[in-house]
Structure 1
Amino acid sequence: MDRQNSKLGNQTAMVKAYGGALVLVDAVVLLLKILYYIGESIYRFFVPLEEKSVAGEIVLITGAGHGIGRELALRYASLGATVVCWDLNPQGNEETVNEIKKLGGTAAHAYQCDVSNREQVRETAERVKQEVGNVTILVNNAGIMPCHAFLDHTPEEIRKIFDINVLAHFWMLQAFLPSMIDKNHGHIVALSSMAGLLGIANLVPYCASKFAVRGLMESLSEELRCTASGRNMNIKFTTIYPYMVDTGLCKKPKIRFPSIMALVPPQEAAAEIIRAQRRDYTEVSIPSIWLSVNTSLRNLPEKSLIQVKDFFDSGVEAC
């Protein structure tokens, strides 16, 4: 009996030792991979990826009737993509399509849709599939940004912010993601905001909605990666964090250093968004430096971070 117990003890020890060795090997492999990808990231900082072609892709842009959405539509059309413009305002939407056609583009289509209304999204999406084809690049751009102190927001306004800035993303994804999964081809672009990375006074519901967009994109990308069943997933996700863009949404910007923190022109924002999408970047801020700055500052003690915020004194006034 003692000999049997001793044999079992030795076998158990060997199994534990083998398991420990496997964990050690996995840890070494993990470390080597981390070092490799750090090196790759440094290399790509100096030698960016080539921008992939979007010619022949069907690009759907929400909020295409003005601002960033209009600029995105114009630029995608100039690159040979078929552009599908969605907006609640039919006049602005038609103006975008007409401008595309004046510049020589013909593959542009306008659809009126309230993206916060799930049934409207479903019905309009079906029309797009029948009349244009399967959307391969979806840009969730539509959003609103009321600027008030938190207690001055009405319940109806808070609901509207989340309906448009968050829930609309869900309805659009439910409408267009299945065909991308079936074909294993597609790209989702979502506009969050720098206000989706740090809290800003007078924008509490807006900040919360943009934080939600970041969480949605990160978790959905991870879910698809984990369920890819070993195949190479060719559906890409890009989350954009713009600084204040000069589209009229920001009524009373507060900027202490306008020479380095001026409002971003919508043309520049659109160019950066399309560049990020064509290079398959996962996250990009506009200007690009702010994402790295935010990540670095988050490592500071909380009181130090507050002092930095007070020094730059940038944000929005209540209106």
Structure 2
Amino acid sequence: MAAGLKEIAKIAGVSVSTVSNVLNGRINVGQETRERVLQICSEHGYFPNKMRNKEKSDKSKTIVFIFSDFDRGFYLKIINGLSDYLTENGYDLIICTNKSSENFMRSNFVSGAISLDGSVTDDFLISIAKPDFPIVLMDRIIKHENANIKSVVVDNYPVMCEMVQVLVDKGFKRFGFIGGLEFTLDNIERFAGFTDTLAKNNITFDRKYYFHGNYREKSGYQAANIMILSNDLPEILVCANDNMAIGAIKAFEENNIKVPDNISVTGFDDADMAAMAGLTTISIPRYESGYLTAKELLGLIEGTTSKEPFKLSATIKWRNTVK
């Protein structure tokens, strides 16, 4: 017999109300607790009664949002956008981690999914995305004739080209780049916009100034320290996201290297900390991306939208880290 709500709470070492908050997608629960509760629910086959009742109905009105990187603050804005649109249209939202996502997606308790989780494979998504179970992706584009999949992604390339062109026009010639995870669509498009614009201006990008990161602040900090130890800094460091840019700036400051007097730095995302740090960056409308993604998913459910990718535009925020 599957465990009940009280048993799940006891196993997780939390209150019954905390388990209820997690399963109803409320955001007033800590990340570690949320992940632990969802994992225990999956392992013991527990789902809320209202979801069990929906299994018997023709159409569930619950959507699952899958993500895995709790370190990046903009997820909260995306979740707010998702929640607002779904609530306006009578849908419930469940927030799920990658550890328990497969159980939710293979069940009849949800009628569609939104995924922002690089650990979920293309093959799995294609196998799950059926006519009666659409999926919208926020981190990649998959086009498959037999899969009910749509993508809502940032149009990284043109805005990166625009920013780098302005930097070239300002007189910068020696560029550095800290990339994110290389297989991600964001990193591929951002780096392509960067290198293509340099090439268009007959500026050769020296690969010794390319540093690998993982979108987290620590990787930017480490990359900057490697640059400092090499005694060979670029004039400007373009980072594939704000976290890495902030990490790099911290390393420079610790070594009395002034930004932007000694080196300029840019980011990408326009996270809250970017404005606080005066970081020049590219602003992505995170709340709006969540809202539009939910809208596109319901469009797939209702058969009123196509599967063509939807690309979100972004804008440059010029601040104090570029000389």
> TM-score, structure 1 length as denominator?
0.31
Higher gyration radius (CA): 1
Normalized per residue, the structure richer in helix is: 1
